[in-house]
């Protein structure tokens, strides 16, 4: 049972425009959400996170939005750069009882076109 | 910062061999390390969690006698796949989390580059 879902396997965006990557989850106990970026032949690299007490967290060009009522989060990258081309995974964990278990989505491949 | 080194990156060996994979946190102390497995076209699945100096906690369905985990120091955890068989062929990846101050549960996990294990 996939508790974290990324329904778009791929996304192409022009350089300079905004990239929006989406993620949905089913477990209402999740209280911590992360985005990871992965290049080929490398492990995932932590990008940005958000706690469920917030609805937005921003770090430079990257902003994560959390809509708890919709069980939805998104990652906005603006402006997009060719170096952002990678696979992006969202992940979630459930605080007290499940803090160790990160549930991952299946990833979205972002291609930024120069 | 937060670099995790995993070695080896690829292993090919015969059935019945035991294979050891190392995971090191290079610039931070990892109170907790995690071992994941990824099957083709699926997301990462947690196998076990190890805390320095104590026994690993295995997820349901993971054989602890098959996948031996040792977390001897704050910077090193090892996964040994014992008597490996072709069905153990997979991508194994470790991660590490700092345990310092505040709500450690909300510290991100930092990943190694993974090990592709192929058992002939």
Question: DSSP characters for B51-114?
Answer: ETTS--EEPTT--TTTEEEEEEETTEEEEEETT--GGG-EEEEEEEEE--SS-GGGSPPEE---
Q: What percent of chain B has pLDDT over 90?
A: 62
pLDDT over 70 percentage in chain A: 95
- Chain-chain contact of B93 with A41 (C-beta, under 8 angstroms): no
Q: Which of B4, B32, B44 sits opposite A104 (nearest CB)?
A: B44
- From the list B95, B69, B96, the residue with the least C-alpha distance to B82 is B69
Range name among A3-7, A77-81, B37-41, B109-113 with the lowest pLDDT average: B37-41
Interface test with B, best of A9, A48, A102, A105 (most B CBs within 10 A): A102
Q: Is A105 on the interface with B (CB under 8 A)?
A: yes
Are the Cβ atoms of A104 and B43 closer than 8 angstroms? yes
Task: Please state, for a pLDDT cut of 70, what percent of chain B lies above it.
Answer: 92
**Of the partner residues A36, A49, A100, the one whose CB lies closest to the CB of residue B34:** A100
Q: Do strands A108-113 and A10-14 pair parallel, antiparallel, or not at all (unpaired)? A: parallel
Q: Could you tell me the pLDDT band of residue B55, with boundaries at 50, 70 and 90?
A: confident
Interacting residues of B12 by C-beta distance below 8 A, sequence separation 6+: B118, B120
Task: Give the residue on A whose Cα is nearest the Cα of B103.
Answer: A95
d(Cα B15, Cα B23) in Å, to the nearest integer? 23
**A37-64 pLDDT, tens per residue?**
999 888 899 999 999 999 999 999 999 9
Check residue A82 and report its DSSP letter. Answer: G
Please report the pLDDT score of residue B97 as a whole number.
87
In our burial notation (b when 16+ CB lie closer than 10 A, e otherwise), range A35-71 reads: bbbbeeeebbebbbbbebeeeebeeeebbbbbeeeeb
Please tell me the predicted confidence (pLDDT) of residue B103.
59
Contact B105 A96 (CB under 8 A): yes
User: In chain A, which residue's Cα lies nearest the Cα of B3?
Assistant: A45
């Amino acid at each position: 049972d996939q508790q974290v879902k990324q329904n778009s396997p791929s996304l192409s965006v022009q350089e300079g425009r905004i990239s929006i990557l989406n993620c949905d989850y089913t477990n209402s106990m999740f209280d911590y959400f992360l985005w990871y970026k992965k290049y080929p032949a490398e492990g995932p690299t932590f990008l940005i996170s958000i706690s469920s007490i917030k609805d937005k967290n921003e770090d430079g060009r990257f902003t994560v939005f959390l809509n708890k009522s919709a069980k939805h989060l998104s990652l906005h990258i603006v402006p997009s750069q060719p170096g952002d081309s990678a696979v992006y995974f969202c992940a979630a964990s459930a605080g007290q009882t499940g803090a160790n278990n990160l549930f991952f989505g299946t990833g979205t491949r972002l291609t930024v076109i120069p | 910062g937060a670099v995790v080194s995993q070695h080896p990156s690829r292993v090919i060996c015969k059935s019945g061999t035991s294979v050891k994979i190392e995971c090191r946190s290079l610039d931070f102390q990892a109170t907790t390390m995690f071992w994941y497995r990824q099957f083709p076209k699926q997301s990462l699945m947690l196998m076990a969690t190890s805390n320095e100096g104590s026994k690993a906690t295995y997820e349901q369905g993971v054989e602890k006698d098959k996948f031996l985990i040792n977390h001897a120091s704050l910077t090193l955890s090892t996964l040994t796949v014992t008597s490996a068989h072709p069905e153990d062929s997979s991508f194994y990846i470790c991660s590490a989390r700092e345990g310092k101050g505040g709500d450690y549960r909300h510290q991100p996990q930092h990943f190694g580059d993974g090990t592709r294990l192929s058992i002939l």
